[in-house]
Amino acid sequence: MPDRIYNFSPGPATLPQEVLKQASKDIVNFNDKGIGLIELSHRSKEFMAVADEAESLVRELLEVPDNYKVLFLQGGASTQFAMIPMNLLGADQKGTYLNTGTWAKKAIKEANIIAQADVAYSSEDTTFNHVPAQGDYSVADDSEYLYFVTNNTIYGTQFKDMPVSDKMLIADMSSDILSRKIDISKFGIIFAGAQKNMGPAGVTVVIIREDLLDRAPETLPTMLRYKTHADKGSMFNTPPCFAIYCVGLVCKWVKANGGVEAMAKMDAEKAAILYDMIDSTDFYKGHAQQDSRSLMNVTFNLPSPELETQFIAEAAAQGLDGLKGHRSIGGCRASIYNAFPKQGVLDLVAFMQEFEKNNS
C-alpha cells in the first residue's frame, strides 16, 4: 500500500497536499507564535486576520458582489434546509423546489415543516438519473424563490447551466462550489458544506444578499437568524476556527493554480477521461444521463452487485479508496473534486481496464 492513497470519497474528501502540510504545521505552531492554530482565541487579532482573509478569498474567487454577506456557519448544509424557509417564508408562503436527489428531498421535507414546498419537478421515478432542462418545469407565481441543488453527489448529476427564473434563486452548491464561474447576482442565497470541494468538515459557507437579512420573523430564535451572524461577522458564538482556516488555505491553493476557470478546465479533463472509459465498454454502465453527468461525482455500475463488491475491494487494495456507491443506490462512485489529482483518475482507468479483462 502506498504512503498516500487516492481518496475517491464524496466527503470529507481529498484536500490539496499543500493545504495538509501547512495545516499540520500551523496546528502545532501558528506563524511561529508558540501557539497552535486551534488554541487561538477566535477573537484574537491573529484569528480575526485568518477569518478576514478566508472571506476575502471567497469573495475574490467567486466574484461576490458588495451587497452580499459571506457567512461561516455551523450545523452543516443540512441546517440550511431549515434556515432558508425559516428566514424567508411565512407559514402561508411557498418556495419552489426541484427534486433531483436525496439532498433536495431533505430540503423539501424541512420546508414543508415550516411553510410550503411546491415541487415543480422530480426525477425520482428514474432514480434521479438526470436534472431538468429549462422548459421541463414552471415556477409558481406566488412562490418566493426557486431552490435547487447544483450537483448531486449520490446520483452523479449536475446542472450544466443554472436554472433561469424571475424568482430569486437559492442553491445548494456543497459539492461543486469553486469548480466553475457563477453569476452570484442571480441568487438570493448560495450555501455549501465545505467538506467536499472547499475544506474539511465543520463549516458551511453561506453567501446571502443583504436585503434578505431582515426578512426573518421576530419569533425566530437568535441562532437561526442570518442577520445574527451577518451583524457579528460570523463571530456571534465561537466559530469552527480550524475549518474556516482551511477554507482560506484551499482558496489560496485555487487562486495559485489559476482560479475557478482553471479548476473548471481541469475538472472537465479529469471527468472526460473517466466517462470515456465507461462509454467504451458494456462492462461499465454510467448511472446519469449523458447531458446531466456530473464533473464532480462519477457514478457507475458493473454487471452484478457481486462484481461491484469485488471491484471496490480490489481497487482499495491498490490504493484506490472510497469507490463504494451511496448505500441508497449501491454501485460505484468516483468523486474527483478540484483537489483530486489527474494521475488518480488515470490509475483508476487503468485498474478498470484490467479488472474488466480479468472478469469478463
What grid cell was written down for 143?
412562490
Select which of 69, 103, 167, 267 is catalytic: 103
Task: Report angle CA 22, 236, 108 to the nearest 5 degrees.
Answer: 90
Select which of 172, 176, 252, 253 is catalytic: 172
Give backbone dihedrals phi and psi of 299, rounded to 5 degrees, phi first.
Answer: -105, 140
Select which of 69, 167, 196, 270 is catalytic: 196
What grid cell was written down for 197?
470541494
What grid cell was written down for 205?
459557507
Active site (annotated) includes residue 285: no
Q: Residue 312 in 3-state DSSP?
A: helix
CB 81 within 8 A of CB 110: yes
Active site (annotated) includes residue 253: no
CB 88 within 8 A of CB 212: yes
Active site (annotated) includes residue 196: yes
Q: Return d(Cα 118, Cα 136) in angstroms, integer.
A: 15
- Alpha carbon distances (Å) from 326 to 12, 46, 61, 76, 331: 14, 40, 31, 19, 8
| Ranges of H-type helices in the chain | 17-26, 45-62, 76-88, 102-114, 226-231, 241-256, 259-279, 305-317, 342-359
Active site residues: 103, 172, 196
